[in-house]
């Protein structure tokens, strides 16, 4: 049986690491704060009787033994790194829900047939190094291990060096763990469950995503002396592109979501016309064909603006994640667990990408969502209730136990 108070207290203890003034968390991947959060998880997992393995990109696996030592484990978990101004539950809930499952099984004196592993994936958020979901994508061989290890942050610090510095450069060969199944619990990061008063979502799949880094090139000039009609203002061009990209989203049904989320201006001087502006595009849709048409429309819109303003343009793809459909049996295991526990549950699609999306190509995979207050995430104000966290964890306990005993 899930201990709601213990689960909540674990969250509050973890949230002290990298705590921000408005109640959020900043634990960038491979930072000192990330190290402390990893250390605390390892301590708790070992106290719960787990053995720890760490692979070569720093993914942590904490194993609770099963009666069949040769059986592939059922795995559950998420990540502990956060956005720069992130919340207390994004990622951490999946890790701590897995820990609570192990603790609850210990309390009950229950041994499952297959082992149960809790995983902490490295750098899910992608705020510091090359791209998001780096640990799980490398595990799944979607991205190259060397590309991960040689990635650098904005200060030129290398991923492999930072991994070594914090003590989590493991020796377990990447991707060598065979999984029987994988389940991940997560806050919804949207408003649907809260709006409908439903505590648990059975996630059937996740949207596809295409991301770009766009470089707009103009010419620097004096802000006081260069006439308006003689300027090649890269930032003005980028701003017009952002407006056009917003318009692209409304040309398709159902609407994709398109976000310009990061902008860098050079030389970034108050009295100099920007000569170069770099910005990112994040586009998502549950249908891959629609997302491809959106991509074409986004490129066309940016090219037309650049040509009209006499600006240079480079649109470099940085990631492409196809839409994901989760394993039907795993989704049904979530539904069945909720029904048996008499917890209201609805099917839903994930708008966000998760480590589960990377693992889904390797092993049967399912996800469990719980509500977050006002649908807010990637924000210091992110919040969830002890009751909802416990409900999702109870469903996880039943789904994982059933899979491990099957």
Q: Which among 259, 290, 321 is the end of a domain?
A: 321
Closest among 142, 262, 267, 266 to 213, alpha carbons compared: 262
Residues 390 and 306 in one domain: no
Give the pLDDT confidence of 345-392 residue by residue, as tens digits.
999 999 888 999 999 999 999 999 999 999 999 999 999 999 999 999
Number of structural domains the chain divides into = 2
Residues 30 and 166 in one domain: yes
* Position 396 confidence tier, pLDDT thresholds 50, 70, 90: very high
Residues 192 and 78 in one domain: yes
Q: What is the pLDDT of residue 11?
A: 98
Question: Radius of gyration (Cα) for the chain, nearest Å?
Answer: 22
Residues 45 and 97 in one domain: yes
**Is the pLDDT reported for residue 295 higher than 90?**
yes
Q: Which among 321, 340, 362 is the end of a domain?
A: 321
Residue 307 Cα distances to 225, 241, 304, 369, angstroms: 25, 12, 5, 45
Residues 268 and 135 in one domain: no
Residues 317 and 327 in one domain: no
Q: DSSP letters along 336-399, please? A: HHHHHTT--EEEEEESS--HHHHHTTTS-EEEEEE--GGG--SSTT----HHHHHHHHHHHHHH
Residues 329 and 272 in one domain: no
Q: What is the pLDDT of residue 198?
A: 98
Q: Which among 321, 347, 381 is the end of a domain?
A: 321
C-alpha span between 270 and 124 (Å, rounded): 35
CB 216 within 8 A of CB 311: yes
263-289 mean pLDDT: 96
Residues 37 and 137 in one domain: yes
Q: What CATH number is associated with residue 182?
A: 3.40.630.10
Give the pLDDT confidence of 201-224 residue by residue, as tens digits.
999 999 999 999 999 999 999 999
Residues 266 and 217 in one domain: yes
Residues 303 and 291 in one domain: yes
* Position 318 confidence tier, pLDDT thresholds 50, 70, 90: confident
Residues 202 and 264 in one domain: no
Q: Look up the domain containing 53 and give its range.
A: 4-206+323-405
Q: What is the pLDDT of residue 95?
A: 98
Average pLDDT, the chain: 96
Give the pLDDT confidence of 1-45 residue by residue, as tens digits.
999 999 999 999 999 999 999 999 999 999 999 999 999 999 999
Q: What is the pLDDT of residue 351?
A: 85
Q: What CATH number is associated with residue 227?
A: 3.30.70.360
Residues 255 and 364 in one domain: no
Give the pLDDT confidence of 248-266 residue by residue, as tens digits.
999 999 999 999 989 999 9
């Amino acid at each position: 049986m899930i201990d709601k108070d213990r689960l909540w207290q674990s969250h509050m203890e973890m949230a002290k690491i990298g705590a921000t003034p408005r109640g959020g968390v900043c634990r960038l991947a491979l930072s000192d704060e990330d190290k402390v959060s990893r250390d605390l998880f390892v301590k708790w997992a070992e106290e719960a009787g787990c053995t720890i393995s760490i692979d070569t990109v720093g993914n942590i696996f904490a194993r609770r033994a099963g009666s069949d030592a040769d059986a592939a484990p059922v795995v559950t978990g998420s990540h502990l790194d956060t956005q720069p101004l992130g919340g207390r539950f994004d990622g951490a809930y999946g890790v701590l829900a897995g820990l609570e499952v192990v603790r609850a099984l210990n309390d009950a004196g229950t041994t499952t047939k297959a082992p149960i592993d809790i995983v902490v994936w490295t750098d899910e958020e992608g705020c510091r190094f090359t791209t998001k979901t780096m640990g799980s994508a490398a595990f799944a061989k979607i991205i190259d291990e060397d590309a991960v290890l040689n990635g650098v942050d904005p200060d030129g610090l290398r991923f492999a060096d930072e991994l070594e510095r914090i003590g989590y450069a493991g020796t377990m060969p990447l991707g060598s763990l065979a999984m029987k199944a994988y389940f991940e619990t997560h806050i919804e990061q949207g408003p649907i469950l809260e709006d409908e008063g439903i505590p648990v979502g059975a996630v059937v799949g996740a949207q596809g995503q295409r991301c770009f880094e766009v470089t707009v090139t103009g010419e620097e000039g004096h802000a006081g002396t260069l006439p308006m009609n003689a300027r090649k203002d890269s930032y003005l061009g980028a701003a017009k592109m952002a407006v056009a990209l917003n318009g692209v989203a409304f040309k398709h049904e159902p609407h994709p979501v398109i976000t310009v989320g990061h902008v860098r201006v050079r030389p970034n001087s108050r009295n100099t016309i920007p000569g170069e502006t770099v910005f990112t595009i994040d586009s998502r849709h549950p249908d891959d064909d629609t997302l491809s048409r959106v991509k074409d429309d986004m490129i066309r819109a940016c090219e037309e603006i650049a040509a009209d303003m006499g600006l240079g343009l480079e649109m470099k793809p940085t990631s492409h994640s196809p839409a994901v459909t989760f394993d039907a049996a795993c989704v049904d295991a979530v539904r069945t667990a909720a029904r048996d526990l008499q917890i209201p549950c609805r099917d839903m699609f994930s708008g966000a990408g998760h480590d589960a999306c990377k693992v889904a190509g390797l092993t049967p995979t399912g996800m469990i969502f719980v509500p977050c207050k006002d649908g807010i995430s990637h924000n210091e104000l992110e919040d969830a209730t002890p009751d909802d966290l416990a409900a999702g964890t109870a469903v996880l306990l039943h789904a994982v136990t059933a899979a491990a005993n099957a």
